[in-house]
Amino acid sequence: PLTIGVLALQGAYDAHVNTLISLGATAKLVRTPQDIAGLDGLIMPGGESTTMLKFLERNDFFATLQTFVQTTPTFGTCAGAILLATDVQHPPQRSLAALDITVERNAYGRQNDSAILTAETTLPGGPLEMVFIRAPRITRTGPAVEILATRDGFPTLIRQGHLLAATFHPELSHDPRVHQLFLNIIHKTA
């Protein structure tokens, strides 16, 4: 089976582990730069990207991860998607700059910051439930980015080659399609 790392510095990593196990993958919590050796793929979970960044700035973890995400399949959800982006706004913040998007943090304001919506997706199997928690908004996608689902016209699920990103939390819905897509991307990239 595939071995998928789940970045476990902070945030919502446990539910990702459960979904991966349910799909037959082996999940490994990643807490140090050494932990990413030998992984087939990595999930960067939701949480608080600024806090994750602080942890990553220790022990050269940021640089190790930046090299890793250039070639190894990586799936960023919410804060993880912010970390993968080339351009972060509101406020601007350092990022791994692997995924050619502009992302605006906490874009929905205090009143609408959390929501559960169902929307059309290009994934087979019908509409997709999306759990948004203090979600960012993707305001620009580069030419290599494929849009798989949207909210109010803004992309919520995107793919750029070996990279997958969601502005929502697929690990909190009882629907494994997004994680299954990530595993399929790994099989095709290998």
Active site residue 169: yes
Answer yes or no: is 49 a known binding residue.
Answer: yes
Cβ closest to ligand GLN, residue 2 vs residue 107: 107
Question: Which is nearest to 48 in space by CA: 84, 14, 18, 12?
Answer: 12
Please pick, among 16, 162, 169, 179, the residue that the annotation labels catalytic: 169
Task: Tell me the closest approach of the beta carbon of residue 1 to ligand GLN, in angstroms.
Answer: 27
Quick one: which segment of 20-28, 30-38, 46-54, 175-183 binds ligand GLN (CB under 6 A)? 46-54
Question: Any known ligand binding at 4?
Answer: no
**Regarding beta strands 114-119 and 128-133, do their DSSP bridges make them parallel or antiparallel, or are they unpaired?**
antiparallel
Q: Is the peptide bond before 91 cis (omega within 30 degrees of 0)?
A: yes
Q: Binders of ligand GLN among 121-150, rule CB under 6 A?
A: 133-134
Question: Are 96 and 70 in contact, with CB atoms under 8 Å apart?
Answer: no
Among 14, 35, 48, 87, which residue sits at the site for ligand GLN (rule: CB under 6 A)? 48
Burial 40-63 (b: 16+ CB within 10 A, else e): bbbbbbbbebeebbeebeeeebbe
What sign does the dihedral 114-118-121-123 (CA atoms) show?
Answer: positive
Q: Which 53-92 residues touch ligand GLN, going by CB under 6 A?
A: 78-79, 82
Sign of CA dihedral 44, 46, 51, 53: positive
Gap between the Cα atoms of 11 and 85, Å rounded: 18
CB of 119 to ligand GLN, least distance (A): 17
Annotated catalytic residues are 78, 169, 171
Residue ranges for the binding site?
47-49, 105, 133-134
Residue ranges for the binding site for L-glutamine?
47-49, 105, 133-134
Binding site for ligand GLN (CB under 6 A): 46-49, 78-79, 82, 105-106, 133-134
